[in-house]
Amino acid sequence: MTAGRQAEGAGMDHASARLPSRVAKLLSALFYGTCSFLLVLVNKALLTTYRFPSPVVLGIGQMAVTIMILYVSKLNKVIHFPDFDKKIPIKLADVHRAQEIYHSTYFTPGNHHTRELGKYGVLFYNACFMIIPTLIISVSTGDLRQATEFNQWKNVLFIIQFLLSCFLGFLLMYSTLLCSYYNSALTTAVVGAIKNVSVAYIGMLVGGDYIFSVLNFVGLNICMAGGLRYSFLTLNSQLKPKQPVDEENIPQDLKG
């Protein structure tokens, strides 16, 4: 019995060692929130201050930068993901199953397709498959023509911010995967909601494009309060040590 408990304890220690630490959870959430917050601010400057005509073309730039960064990193053996073959679309579709979406980028035992692609493969092939239809849409709607004829392309400050937005788009996608893995998809959604409200508060003071209404203001405060409450409850539950279960005290009929 003692040997069995020791083996069980060793197994629990090994399993707990593989779990992400509270520091990793906190840093991944902070990384995601920071990237998301900065991207919104930069996009706001591009679309509102400079009046860049096409958010669709801005999204294309973000996907293009994601593809370039990941492909160059793969060529230099910094990262690894599988080469393209005819089964990649099937594997990618399998990744996007609703119940597996945040497990898909790490080698969880639930599905061998999701394990094969890995987090970098998901990012790369997502961007590859999305950029083509998005580019077609931008051409058909005239967005691409308006973007190419935009009169600020000789403005160095605008170009820097455009490139920064493209790079932050890549960081946001990567940080979303990390935050969902180390925490949960719900935590990622809540952090995003808190970011959105924070940006809204800043937008009330700067930018001049916020139209105040009592209903809208009350809704923003309720959203912020709910997000903070969830964050507090989640952190509090993580700080509480889990009590080990003594199998000797479990009734025989429950052991099966």
pLDDT values of the chain reduced to their tens digit, one per residue, 256 residues: 444 544 444 444 444 445 567 788 888 888 988 888 888 889 888 988 899 999 999 999 999 999 999 999 999 988 888 888 777 777 666 665 533 444 444 464 445 555 667 778 888 888 888 899 999 999 999 999 999 999 999 999 999 999 999 999 999 888 888 887 777 666 666 677 677 667 667 766 666 666 777 887 788 788 777 766 776 676 566 555 555 545 555 455 444 4
Helix (H) or strand (E) holding 109: none
- Give the integer Cα–Cα distance in Å for 37 and 27: 15
Distance CA 159, CA 119 (A): 30
Prediction pTM value: 0.68
Contact by Cβ (8 Å): 104, 96: yes
- Domain residue spans of the chain: 22-183
Please report the pLDDT score of residue 37 as a whole number.
86
Q: Which helix (H) or strand (E) holds 247?
A: none
Dihedral of CA 105/110/115/121: which sign? Answer: negative
Element of type H or E holding 137: helix 112-141
CA distance linking residue 220 with residue 126, whole number of Å: 32
The one-letter amino acid code at 51 reads R
Task: Look up residue 84 and give its two tokens.
Answer: 């393209």
Q: Which two tokens stand for residue 139?
A: 């051409």
Quickly count: other Cβ atoms within 10 Å of residue 60's Cβ: 23
Which residues contact residue 153 at a Cβ distance below 8 angstroms, ignoring those fewer than 6 apart?
Answer: 159
82, two tokens: 């599988």
The continuous run of DSSP H or E covering 145 comes out as: helix 143-148
Task: Count CB atoms within 10 A of the CB of residue 58.
Answer: 20
Among candidates 29, 23, 7, which has minimal Cα distance to 231? 29
Identity (one letter) of the amino acid at 90? I
Nearest to 212 by CA among 222, 224, 200: 200
